Amino acid sequence: MAQKVAAIATHDKTGHLTKFEIERRAPGPKDVVINIKYSGICHSDLHQARSEWGPSIYPMVPGHEIVGIVEEVGAEVTGFKVGQRAGVGCFVESCRKCVQCEKSHGQYCPEMVVTYNGKFPDGTPTYGGYSAKIVVDEAYTLHVPEHLDFKATAPLLCAGITVYSPFRHYGLKAGESVGVLGLGGLGHMAVKIARAMGCKVTIITRSADKAKEAIEKLGAHDAIITSEEGAIAKRASSLDFILDTVSAAHSLKDYLPLMKVNGRFILVGVPSEPFALNSFDVVMKRLTVGGSLIGGIEETQEMLDFCGEHNIVADIELISCEKVNEAYERLARSDVRYRFVLDIENTIGDAPSQ
C-alpha cells in the first residue's frame, strides 16, 4: 500500500525549505523500497528550487544524490536484497524502447522522468531524496560499494557521474593532460577521477588557495591560477582536455588557448546565460567543443564500481536537516568544501517547520 513519508519541500520560487509529508507509491513487483540515509545537495537543487531553469513544479522535494538501505523488494526483483546498500541518481524512469534507451543512454530519452521536479507518465509528481524513503524500479536503482564511506558516496550519484561520463565518452586516455576548470562539487570529483584514470591533472582556478588545496588534498598535479597576469599565455597549448564545471557566467574564449591541437573542451556546468564562441578559435586547432549530461544507469554503475576500486568518495560537509536553508545560502556563495550532504535518517524530523 502507499505510504506517508516525512520530507522537506519548497513551495515557491523563494526556494525556502520546510517540513512536508509526501505519499510514496505502493511498491510493485519490480520496485525497490529504500530507507534513505543520506542525500547530497547539488547546485541544481538550488537552481530548480528557485525556478531558475524555467517553471518548476511545486511543492518540490529536491534531491537526486540518494543513498540508503533496501527495506523491501518486489516479488520480481532479482538484483537487490533487503539490507543492501542502494543508490538513486538523477532519473527514475525512461521509455525503455527508444534508441537512446536501447544504448543505456536513458538520460537522453525524450521521456526521461527526473527524480524530482518531474512527473511520471500518469501525472504523479516525482519527489526526491530530501525524504525518509523512496520507491524506485529496480532498473533505475544502483549498487553502492559496501566498503566506501556511505555518507560521502551520495554525491557520486550526480557529481561523480557528471564528470565520469564525458571522460569516457570523449575518449580520455591515461597519460593525457586534463584541465579541470572550477573547483566545486563537480570539479573536485573530476580531479579525483581523472587522476585515478592515469591522467596528468591541472586545476584551473582564480584562487591560489583553491589551487593549493587541489594539489595538496585532492591529487592534482599542477594548477593554472588565472588571476595571475599571463598565466594562460604561459601554458598555451598544454592541455589535451578541459572539463568545464563552472555554472557561473564566463567566457570560453579565455581558456581555449590552453588547448592542444585536437583538444576537447567539454561543458558540464550549466550557466543561465548563453556564451559566445569565435569559430576561428575552434577551427585553427581542430578543437572539439562538446557537452555531457549525467550518465545512463549502466554507466553510473560502472562509475560507482570504479570509485569503489579506487576508494574515491566526495569531500563533504554532513549537516542536519535543520540547517538545509542555511546550506542553500552558503551554496549560493560557493561556501562549501565541496558538497553538503543531509543526514536524512537521523535528522529529517529536525527540518524547519516554517
pLDDT tens for the chain, residues 1 to 354? 899 999 999 999 999 999 999 999 999 999 999 999 999 999 999 999 999 988 999 999 999 999 999 999 999 999 999 999 999 999 999 999 999 999 999 999 999 999 999 999 999 999 999 999 999 999 999 999 999 999 999 999 999 999 999 999 999 999 999 999 999 999 999 999 999 999 999 999 999 999 999 999 999 999 999 999 999 999 999 999 999 999 888 999 999 999 999 999 999 998 878 888 889 999 999 999 999 999 999 999 999 999 999 999 999 999 999 999 999 999 999 899 999 999 999 999 999 998
Non-local CB neighbours of 195 within 8 Å, separated by 6+ positions: 201, 218, 219, 220, 221
- Chain centroid to Cα 219, Å, comes to 20
Q: How far is residue 30's CA from residue 18's CA, in Å, rounded to a whole number?
A: 32
Q: How far is residue 180's CA from residue 201's CA, in Å, rounded to a whole number?
A: 7
User: At which residue does the C-alpha cell 604561459 appear?
Assistant: 234
Q: How far is residue 219's CA from residue 158's CA, in Å, rounded to a whole number?
A: 21
pTM of the model: 0.96
Q: 173: helix, coil or strand? A: coil
* Residues 231 and 254: beta-carbon distance below 8 Å: no
Nearest to 159 by CA among 277, 40, 10: 40
